[in-house]
Amino acid sequence: MRRAAVMTTRVIVPTYNERENLESLVARLLALPVAVGVIVVDDGSPDGTGEIADRLAAEHPGRIHVIHRAGKLGLGTAYVAGFHHAIAESADFAITMDADFSHPPEKIPELLAKAETGYDLVIGSRYVPGGKAVECTLPRQVLSWGANTFARVLLDLKAHDTTAGFRCYRREVLESIALDQIFSSGYSFLMEMLYLVQRAGWRVGEVPIVFHNRQQGVSKISRNEVYKALYTVLRLSKRRLVTAISPSRRAG
């Protein structure tokens, strides 16, 4: 029988120089029709985002938790820090999203509704019917499409938006994965995590979203991150191949 108790949700927002966005994002999150707690993971943003997060936490006791890290340690490890906190708080669901409004907060109830129908990971997706990316430059669209296709083909990923940072994870999924052993520390963490989730046999679903390019603040994605993503996909596909042909696997 389904549990009648109210499910608890934490929204993890990694931030690095998001002064223009954080306060209005938190306001939109706290105004949602579903109750969510917010975990901000700030990497010592030079623009004072961490102090804004502390003020918001003081203004909304019990709704916002701030994790301060010493410096820019990467998006992937920021997610992991947030996941550990959500697990420690026994949250039923942990949602990740960017601070720059690329991911519409109002879609959160839909992500949760889909998760509650039996999906273990739900992705807010640009690449399923009804989803799209707007206001993005052509090079950015090509990069995103290329990275997605590359990862889907080489890693046999079933989801259509493999690089999306807007995701809802069931807590058990996070508990089943050795989070601290994930190799990728930056943006390619998203592909690696999706690969691990699918390989573990969890059910992955997608909800269409309209992805808006960042309006305020500056992008942190560098050319280096793109090379790292390429490397991540190649590394994982080699691992996949080796596992597929290893005799112990075939015997088992």
Ligand X SMILES: Nc1nc2c(ncn2[C@@H]2O[C@H](COP(=O)(O)OP(=O)(O)OP(=O)(O)O)[C@@H](O)[C@H]2O)c(=O)[nH]1
CB atoms within 10 A of CB 219: 9
C-alpha distances in Å from residue 49, one per residue of 15, 147, 242, 252: 7, 30, 44, 51
Which of 9, 10, 11, 18 is close enough to bind ligand X by CB under 6 A? 18
**3-state DSSP assignment of residue 13:** strand
Rounded to a whole number of angstroms, the minimum distance from the CB of residue 225 to ligand X is: 8
CB atoms within 10 A of CB 82: 25
- 204 with 123: CB under 8 angstroms? yes
DSSP label of 120: S
Q: Report residue 159: phi and psi, to 5°.
A: -70, 155
Nearer to ligand X (CB atom), residue 171 or residue 220: 220
Alpha carbons within 13 angstroms on the beta-carbon side of residue 28 total 18
The stretch near ligand X (CB under 6 A) out of 53-61, 99-107, 117-125, 190-198 is 99-107
Give the largest Cα separation in the chain, rounded.
58
Q: Of Mg ion, ligand X, none, which one does residue 14 interact with (CB within 5 to 8 Å by kind)?
A: ligand X
233 binds ligand X (CB under 6 A): no
- Find, among 185, 179, 186, 167, the residue nearest to 97 by Cα: 167
63 binds ligand X (CB under 6 A): no
Which of 100, 120, 192, 206 is close enough to bind ligand X by CB under 6 A? 100
Alpha carbons within 13 angstroms on the beta-carbon side of residue 88 total 8
Which of 219, 223, 247, 252 is close enough to bind ligand X by CB under 6 A? 219
The interface with Mg ion within residues 87-126 (CB under 5 A) comprises 98, 100, 102
Q: Of ligand X, Mg ion, none, which one does residue 72 interact with (CB within 5 to 8 Å by kind)?
A: ligand X
Which of 10, 11, 12, 14 is close enough to bind ligand X by CB under 6 A? 14
Q: Of Mg ion, ligand X, none, which one does residue 235 interact with (CB within 5 to 8 Å by kind)?
A: none
Q: Which residues bind ligand X (CB under 6 A)?
A: 14-16, 18, 41-43, 72-75, 78, 98-100, 102, 214, 219-221
Q: Which residues bind Mg ion (CB under 5 A)?
A: 98, 100, 102, 214
